[in-house]
Structure 1
Amino acid sequence: MSKNSSRSQQLEAFDRLLTIMDELREKCPWDRKQTIESLRHLTIEETFELSDAILDEDLEEVKKELGDILLHIVFYAKIGAEKEAFDIATVIDGLCDKLIRRHPHIYGDTEANDDEAVKQNWEKIKLKEKGNKSVLGGVPRSLPALIKAMRIQEKARGVGFDWEEKTQVWEKVEEEMQEFKEEFDAAAPGQIDKEKATGEFGDLLFSLINYARFVDINPEEALEKTNRKFIHRFQYLENAAKEAGKSLGDMTLNEMDVYWNEAKEQ
């Protein structure tokens, strides 16, 4: 049985949310106190909670987290209206106008026969709209470094600055690996130049992210899956050791490896 609502039900639900937001802003001491600045860190937290739900493939939780984020959007718009800067209608209308402008293959006479052409058109239009002096000007400075690297590479590709074949990208990975190894050879005696080694390691990571993009792997998702896999196995190790009456601090690495290998079979 479908859980989808009719358009009239959707509009009624949104109207109900706006009414509740008005009431909370007027009557609730906590909601009255909030500012755009005070909500910021809460919005970031809610976004990560949505990300967790998506990775867990928990659609019920995704629904709840989307509700929390929608509340924040409505909250920001309410504060904007109080400042006479914007309201939820101007936010939505602005978004609709932008979507129409950036999809000329739907609402205009531009052709785009695949998703790559759509992305290239999007970046070119976005560059003209924002008036950025650089293609990379629209990448948020506060993005986590791994995600920022992905966006930088995607934006460069949007204007044609990219490798042609994945073999070329892999050759770059091998080149950066060799340069890092030469700068930071674990078998070599003496101290390393940490600043140089850090730079070469960054180059290596950037090239690996680039290769992942070429073979349609999201490196952020890949790393997070590995993080979760490690957490699962390590917690198995902790629990197994506890059930055996042992403390991890008192166990040898070989003893821990026994439980670790068991965890890999779970």
Structure 2
Amino acid sequence: MKLLDKSHFIAGKLEGSFDELWSIVNILRQECPWDRTQTVESVKFKIVEEAYEVLECIDSGNLSALKNELGDVILVCLFITKILEQEGKLSLKDVFLSLISKLISRHPHIFGDKKLNTPEEVLRNWERMKKNESAGKENNKDLKISMPSLYFAYRFFEKKINSGDLKDNIDKSDISYKLKKMFDDLLQEEEKEKIKNAIREILFTLCFISALHNINPEEELRKKIKDYIQSEENES
């Protein structure tokens, strides 16, 4: 990887290369009064903020803004990597090697002789490999409680289904009966704590149903809210 000095950028002959981007990150960490004082702790939530900006651009179909926001996500990742590199904790090469190794090992049907012919088989094998790699470690360690709650529950059930932990012969009629009973109990309940518990159970069950059908409830609720807001604006 070639590090470029400031003269390259002052000349304005940009190529859009990774070397240019990594060089700018290095220059900013050395010379910018603000950038060089930042820590991993001070910038870590930028990842979440920028990721939501990307999501908003995708939802709105704004490709021009999406280009900028994707760049911001990449920048934050590189910025954190540079900070940790300066602290002697890891390097950009470490990050790349870790990612490349994982992509190779998780695709044995591409880089090996394993036969996986459908997207479902690939996903099931991916989850099985992750489970084997984390044997003896905390279950669901890659599911973070800081995720949005609906998405967290959806991914929890999705992992269970794809790894084969849940039975294939799930009784949907039983789920339907239990869900209907939950709603009936909720509408008749008056005690706040019991209402809260009923809502938790209903949301949890709906996330399970969503995972069965491979439908992201977080995304569907976002769409509903946006449609509702749009309809109100159209009426006003």
Which TM-score bucket, shorter chain as reference? 0.7 to 0.9
The match for 1:220 among 200, 218, 227 is 218
CA distances 1:57-83 after superposition (whole Å, capped 9, x unpaired): 222222111100110111011011101
- The answer (yes or no) to whether the contact 1:123–1:159 under 8 Å persists in 2 is yes
Q: 1:134 to 1:34 in 2, by over 3 A?
A: closer
**Pair 1:73 & 2:71 matched:** no
Give the percent of matched residue pairs that are identical in Structure 1 and Structure 2: 33
- The answer (yes or no) to whether the contact 2:160–2:166 under 8 Å persists in 1 is yes
Alignment correspondent of 2:143:
139
Partner AA of 1:179 in structure 2: M
The match for 1:185 among 184, 188, 193 is 188
- The answer (yes or no) to whether the contact 1:169–1:207 under 8 Å persists in 2 is no
Q: 1:156 to 1:84 in 2, by over 3 A?
A: same
Q: 1:170 to 1:236 in 2, by over 3 A?
A: farther
- The answer (yes or no) to whether the contact 1:173–1:207 under 8 Å persists in 2 is no
Partner AA of 2:216 in structure 1: N
1:193 Cα shift? 2.8
- The answer (yes or no) to whether the contact 1:212–1:218 under 8 Å persists in 2 is yes
Alignment correspondent of 1:127:
131
1:208 Cα shift? 1.9
1:107 Cα shift? 1.4
Partner AA of 1:124 in structure 2: R
CA distances 1:3-31 after superposition (whole Å, capped 9, x unpaired): xxxxxxxx961000011111111111110
Alignment correspondent of 1:169:
172
Alignment correspondent of 1:232:
230
The match for 2:207 among 206, 209, 212 is 209
How far, CA to CA, are the matches of 1:163 and 1:212 in structure 2?
A: 16
**Pair 1:88 & 2:92 matched:** yes
Partner AA of 2:192 in structure 1: K
Structure 2 unpaired stretches of 5+: 1-14
Alignment correspondent of 1:159:
163
- The answer (yes or no) to whether the contact 1:112–1:118 under 8 Å persists in 2 is yes
How far, CA to CA, are the matches of 1:34 and 1:27 in structure 2?
A: 12
- The answer (yes or no) to whether the contact 2:155–2:211 under 8 Å persists in 1 is no
- Count of aligned residue pairs for this structure pair: 222
How far, CA to CA, are the matches of 1:225 and 1:75 in structure 2?
A: 33
TM-score calculated relative to the size of structure 1: 0.76
Partner AA of 2:191 in structure 1: D
TM-score calculated relative to the size of structure 2: 0.85
Q: Does 1 or 2 have the higher relative contact order (CA < 8 Å, sep 6+)?
A: 2
How far, CA to CA, are the matches of 2:224 and 2:136 in structure 1?
A: 37
Q: Considering only aligned residues, what root-mean-square deviation do their CA atoms show, in Å? A: 2.1
Alignment correspondent of 1:261:
none
